[in-house]
Amino acid sequence: MGKQRLYLFDTTLRDGAQTSGVDFTLADKLAIAGMLDELGIDYIEGGYPGANPTDTELFGTPRKFNATFTAFGMTRRPGRSASNDPGLAAVLEAKTDAICLVAKTWDYHVRIALETTKEENLASIRDSVRAAQARRREVLLDCEHFFDGYKSNPKYALACAKAAHDAGARWVVLCDTNGGTLPNEVEKIVGEVVKVVPGDHIGIHAHNDTEQAVANSFAAVHAGARQIQGTLNGLGERCGNANLVSIIPTLKLKPEFAGFEIGVSDAQLKKLVHVSHALDERLNRASNRHAPYVGESAFATKAGIHASAIMKDPATYEHVTPESVGNKRKVLVSEQAGKSNILAELERIGIKADKDDPRIARLLEVVKEREAIGYAYEAADASFEMLARRMLGTVPNYFDVTQFDVNVEQRNNAKGERVTVSMAVVKVKVGDENLISAAEGNGPVNALDQALRKDLGKYQKYIEGLKLTDYRVRILNAGTEAVTRVLIESEDETSDHWTTIGVSSNIIDASFQALMDSIVYKLVKSGAPA
Ligand SMILES: [Zn+2]
């Protein structure tokens, strides 16, 4: 018998954006969508067109993804026609493949929040689904408060689900909006729903208020649902949504789910740690070391009997292999294990290296020293590559910055307004040529960047297409001293992007390191001659 297809729907960019402290820019959204796409997620919900300028811009242009790009919105308001509802119109206008509409399915909410009749709410569901279908979009209907609604009035909740399905919705998504439903209840209720709407049209959208959103998602699958909605790292309002980062490997690796197939391949599964950590870096927050599967400690064992058993056979204390999700086993700091990590990393970026080359052992040492003082090479692929290439002797010394000077000045401008301006002067030696550039910027780092990239002599043409797309700062507490970690994301004319890092007690110095790595990376990448 063939495997049954389970679909994954990510709502990090919509429900995840409700997380307190999270505020995605357009660049964030595009970068995260790109990661989700690389991971093999089936549906990416981008946001709520019309609700804010970022989402409106996001949906104003057709986006190319393997995944089905989805816009979110509300069913038509009571008393209005589908063609005369500006909210619905904004969603229907969105340049997407699919539309996910949310509707009330709890009679209590229909009465209190919508102040309308149950019949009018059913009509709203039907009309809205049909309107989206008429635009040739795949339609999903989110049944808000479905489980609480079912408990209060099962007949009405089921009628809502059936109305959406009958009107042509591809998916009817059952939402545990308050997040308080328990797995046994989810399984029982979904079991009733699939008698009315076939399971391969049912999705589950669980919130994590009893820390069982993942378990609730699986309970729904057991009962017949075939789409799981969730977010990366369980982002979301209050206690978050179902965590896809835990759901994906469980579906892939546990014999329990061997009868199912998802869009994430074994190779894509190996990117899971990277994706999870990259999201945290983007949110400028520390990753949860103890996160299942992907946490730094998920496969770490302290010395003792566990460690010696693990050395003999890792399966003794591991429920899955760390490599399957791109994680690493940590047992003491074994020289050999560390070296194989470095070799794997070099292979990943296309550098051939011999495992017995003494420079590899030295590279490992330097990485460990630097990570101990705050560098995070996992988040800064290009800086790792530059470090490795330098130590293996494959980076030409293109230029030297012999001196730089950055100043910040506060003064009155010609209009008598108080302004703060920054200026940088950079002296660069390219071959025998000494070049001096000066630039103003809206801040010291911006001024330094402008000056540094203003004139690199014969190399200038290789960096013309270089753009900085993101700049993130974190203060780390290393012992008693605070150090600054700067991560810079760059992009070039080929839409390639990379991240570089700098660490220093001085923010300008940390930024300078990251800027330099990015420029040199671009020169190497462009094949600039030595
Ligand atoms: Zn939700």
Given a contact cutoff of 8 angstroms between Cβ atoms, the answer to whether 391 and 357 are in contact is no
pLDDT of residue 314: 75
Pairing state between β 138-144 and 98-104: parallel
pLDDT of residue 335: 47
pLDDT at 1: 65
Rounded distance from Cα 135 to ligand 1 centre (Å): 25
Between CA 472 and CA 514 the distance in angstroms is 11
Residue type, 143: C
Given the structure tokens 């059913």, which residue do they identify? 122
pTM, rounded to two decimals: 0.72
Q: What percent of the chain has pLDDT over 90?
A: 75
Instruction: Calculate the average pLDDT of the chain.
Output: 92
pLDDT at position 332 over 70: no
Q: 211-220, 314-323, 475-484 — which is least confidently predicted?
A: 475-484
| pLDDT given for residue 305 in this prediction | 56
- pLDDT (0 to 100) of residue 349: 77
Cα 400 to Cα 403: distance, rounded to the nearest angstrom: 9
Q: What is the mean pLDDT of residues 311-322?
A: 80
In this predicted structure, the answer to whether residue 479 has a pLDDT above a threshold of 80 is no
Q: CA 68: distance to chain centroid?
A: 16
H/E element, 139: strand 138-144
- Predicted pLDDT at 342: 79
Which has the closest alpha carbon to 247: 237, 259, 233? 233
* Ligand 1 midpoint to CA 357 (Å): 52
Give the integer Cα–Cα distance in Å for 511 and 507.
Answer: 6
Q: 50 near 91, Cβ under 8 Å? A: yes
| pLDDT value, residue 308 | 58
For residue 374, the CA-to-ligand 1 centroid distance in Å is: 36
- Give the pLDDT of residue 333: 39
Q: What was the pLDDT predicted at 376? A: 86
Per-residue pLDDT, 334: 42
Instruction: Give me ligand 1 centre to Cα 114, in Å.
Output: 19
- Over residues 72-96, the pLDDT tens digits come to 999 999 888 988 999 999 999 999 9
Q: Where are the alpha helices (DSSP H) in 26-98?
A: 26-39, 53-58, 86-93
**440 DSSP 8-state letter:** E
Computed over its alpha carbons, how large is the radius of gyration of the chain? Answer: 27
What is the rounded average pLDDT of the residues 240-268? 97
For residues 503-521, give the mean pLDDT: 96
Using a CB cutoff of 5 Å, list residues around ligand 1, an ion: 15
* pLDDT confidence band for 505 (50 / 70 / 90): very high
- 530 has a pLDDT exceeding 90: no
Q: What's the gap in Å between 79 CA and the centre of ligand 1?
A: 26
Alpha carbons 453 and 469: distance in angstroms, whole number? 15
